[in-house]
Structure 1
């Protein structure tokens, strides 16, 4: 599981700054809203708008509680900064195969991996 980036700044993020996902749940017979930065939170509603409104209320409460307790608050994805550097571990066999592919294509290993990752997301 990924580590959650947090902040202890005096001005906490607002609920509108977080990343939400709303989908239909057959099991619950309702729309379920989740927030990426708070993976344990969810709320439901009889429409997408209601579910989103409810999860934002929950996020507001959680932010207030965390701030009041001096606990770190997750940083919204939109405010996070990424260096573009990633230390990746892989098996020796995969490393060897990728290095050979890069050599055959006449590109660096970094370029090969970047290209493959970019195309895998399409």
Structure 2
């Protein structure tokens, strides 16, 4: 399974002074960055780590569902 199939939601956090990327389908999966690109690049790494850890622990991995939210 590839990490680029999960939806990432990107927003600016004034409190953190950073962009935050969250992945709703993977509980606790989030990353931040000073720029949008940095946040998205960081969350790709975190998604891969989330999936690897779930596999190692024998936990279920949700199938990517595609677009989940609408603006």
State if a TM-score over 0.5 links the two structures.
yes
TM-superposition CA deviations, 1:70-105 (whole Å, max 9, x none): 211111013xxxxxxxxxxxxxxxxxxxxxxxxxxx
Q: Which has the larger radius of gyration?
A: 1
> Counterpart of 1:20?
8
Q: TM-score, normalised by structure 1?
A: 0.51
Shift in Å at residue 56 of structure 1? 1.1
Q: 1:36 aligns with which of 15, 20, 24?
A: 24
RMSD of the alignment, in Å?
Answer: 1.5
More helix by share: 1
Gap regions ≥5 residues in structure 1: 1-12, 79-120
Structure 1 residue runs of 4 or more that deviate by more than 6 Å after TM superposition: none
Equivalent-residue separation in structure 1 for 2:30 and 2:46 (angstroms): 8
Q: What is the aligned length?
A: 67
- Structure showing greater relative contact order (alpha-carbon pairs closer than 8 Å, 6 or more residues apart): 2
